[in-house]
Chain A
Amino acid sequence: MLIVHCPVCGAEGDETDFHAAGEAHIRRPATLDPEHISDEQQRDYLFMRRNPKGLHFERWRCDRGCGKWFHAARDTATMEFKAFYLATELPPRELMEQATGEWVTFFKDKLKAAKTK
């Protein structure tokens, strides 16, 4: 049983009071440009998911609470939550830096953008 913390309303509770919805930070290509989406882009959007051992970024919903979606960073090996952050936010900087595997490429330009700001 995971104990989850909602960053929106601050409620803490069992995972059964929440809803886990898989990987976070997936962009929907059709929202950006519905006219030009290759089959490969659509395939990646629909099916290709990261499955790291260690730090992972997920979407959750405060299902039985305030109803809001949010993000969580979780260690898939120890099940430990490292951070909870809003659905419209990127993870805390240090977690983006700690990310491994395919997440590294994903966060690379985000970290760069954050630096130039």
Chain B
Amino acid sequence: MAELQYESALKGREASGLSIRLREIAERGMIDLRGFASDRKFMNAAKEILGVDLPKQPRTSNTWGEMRAFWLSTDQWLIICPRSKMAELLTALRKRLQGIHALAVDVSDMRSVLRLEGDGAREVLLKGCSLDLLSDEYSPGTVRRMRFAEIAALLHVVEEDMFDVYVFRSYAEYAWDFICATARPEAELRLFGKQDLAAS
């Protein structure tokens, strides 16, 4: 039987001619995991399957190997893994979580991931979101759900100058167009630090 062809919303597109690097990260597996952080049985079971603790601090993430776990709420995490490992992981989680109040759902296709890279990516994001992205609060590893342009999104600070924006699949084109419009080199700017004073 031939391999199934997964087709992401933007087919792994990469933009050119912008002030930052922009591309879609396709081929990711994602699991929405629900359970109470206060439920020790649940937390232990999750750790047993995942190999690491689920992050308990709001708006943080854990990264290990090819895997990540994002804190989404006091009872919700998003597990990121390679697409090829998703089914196996989901089955293992469901099996181990039997008898525990929990819910694990495959949501690999539900969101599209747009990656912004480069010096100035924070400023590009600030054209669409109202978070205080220039503060220390948004250091690598931070995860936050937010309103981006006019849609719901999830921001993951991957590295100092690398950001993944997760949007619902149906909005992928809109989010892409919005970032392309705001990341034009002609509109580039930096906040704080040295500025050119207006010429007289």
Contacts and interface: CB of A to CB of B under 8 A. Distances in A.
Contacts of A8: 73-74
Interface residues of A, number: 13
Per DSSP, are chain B's interface residues mostly helix, strand or loop, or mixed? strand
A16 B59 contact: no
A21 interface: no
A53 interface: no
B183 interface: no
Contacts of A9: 58-59, 73-74
Contact of A17 (B74, B76, B130): B130
Interface residues of B, number: 13
Given A64-B147, A65-B144, A68-B73, A11 B130 contact: no
Contacts of A66: 58, 72-74, 76, 145
B106 to A, nearest CB: 20
B154 to A, nearest CB: 9
A64 B130 CA distance: 12
Contact of B73 (A10, A13, A14, A67): A67
A2 to B, nearest CB: 12
Contacts of B72: 66-67
Nearest to B137: A12
Interface string B67-91: 0000011101000000000000000
A16 B73 CA distance: 19
A11 B73 contact: no
A16 B76 CA distance: 22
B152 interface: yes
